[in-house]
Structure 1
Amino acid sequence: MEPFFTFLGSYWWLIFPLMGVLGAAGSAWERGARSRHKRRLEMIHAKAELKAAQAAARGKIAPDAAALPTVTGPTATTAPGDADAPQTQPTQLERLFATHDAVTARWLDYELDVAKMIAFPAMSDGRQPLTAAFLRAKRLADGLRPASPKAKLTPEQLAEYRSAVTDFEVAFDVAERDARRLRDSAFSAQERKRLDTAKQLLTVAVDQAATPAERQLAYRRVREELDGLISVSDEAIEVLEKKVMLELPSNRQDPTTT
């Protein structure tokens, strides 16, 4: 024990830097814990918001035609444009199809546009809880969609499809709002720099004023910068390649004019 006490007597001053190191480590751990707690609270709030929005949306849905009172005889005719007129099943399906298609188009606007993928990467990241919830709602709505508006459904089937379309629309709105809030905040500083570089190169890749060689080089660099950061779908690559491979006016002279 004597050598130990001799060491302490000679190097007692080391306790001060050690306290500083331990204090910094404790502060870093506390900041990390606060950050994780804040993220959990945000996720709980987002999920609650999604449930509330779904409940509110369902409350605004018109009652099913089968649940409305049936009127027979001459009085069954309803004045055109009457907001309270019961809708036939084909009419209801047409409206649901229109909503379903509109939400799908909004999603494809992100899924097929590489520029939007770079700006709002969370919309293409199935690991994001709200994006994953939207994708699940999409699969459910797509699976319940009838073959055509003229399909014959039971009242229960119609109500189930209506509920799925509502959830699909609400889930997309919530996921989109979250993606626009997050932007590239989930990436490190170096990764954000790569995203910025890809964004600048993408401008060159689709610039008609650039030469074909410049566009091709910029396109390859965009793919390299995004590799490992964002999963770009094959469909989005195909759309981008069509923009890059814009046909240039031919400089060859028409032989019939000579």
Structure 2
Amino acid sequence: MDPFWMLAAEWWWIAPTVVGVGAVTTVGVRRSSRRNGRRLALDAARDDLREAQREVGEQRRAVKLARAEHARLVAERTASRASSAEVASARRAVKQAEQNAKAASADVRSRRVQVSVAQAEVPPASRPERYPVARLHRAHDAVTARWMDYETDPAKLIAYPVMSDGKDPAMAAFLAAARDARDLRPASTAGITPQDYAAYRDAVTHLERAFDVAEHTAKERAAGRDPNTPPAWQDSAHEVLSRSAEAIDKAAGAAASAIAAWSARRKSGKDAPPEQ
């Protein structure tokens, strides 16, 4: 036998083994990437997108059901088996369902952008300080540092007492958000799932917003303003809208009375006996 073919027959298993090892190595790298947390933000963003797409489907089905119910009640009213109030209620349900569907569609668009951003921000393996959990830790620590600045600075304690008042609603909401973020904070990326990461990410986002609200409340009260009181222009706008609504209601009532009176006169004219 040719020595080449003898060698090939003896070492035929080399190529499949090399291919198999390559495949196993690739899978191992991907799994390692997931374990060390490099892709946590991307995986969580993809999960959020799938959930948002599922919600869109549910809201679109809800719109179809609401429209069908509205059409049924309109037909029932024509047959005098449903009231105008029921039809109006069904119409409001349709509008609410359509608004929910629009909000769900907007959420899907937002989630797609977040997936693109997370994909672009997947850090290299050599930069663990840029891993998603590490970034969240820094954001979490930054909020805590901003809060402690109020707690440790005597001048700020005097100027903004609300920031140390746990009974104030805004501050109580911040402290509750701080507890949630603390409880959800992972010590390391070992064993953390995209769902765990998403929960901690949302907790940190809620914490940042709660602190902003508490800080705004403290500054407004320090300036002698009530943060819960809307600006004067909002009161004026509400008053104008209320008066407009009242005027519309009065006009509609007057029109209904006129139509009823006209119908009564017309009916009485038809029922009256002819003159001899």
**TM-score, scaled relative to structure 1:** 0.39
Query: TM-score, with normalisation over the residues of structure 2?
Result: 0.37
Bigger radius of gyration:
2
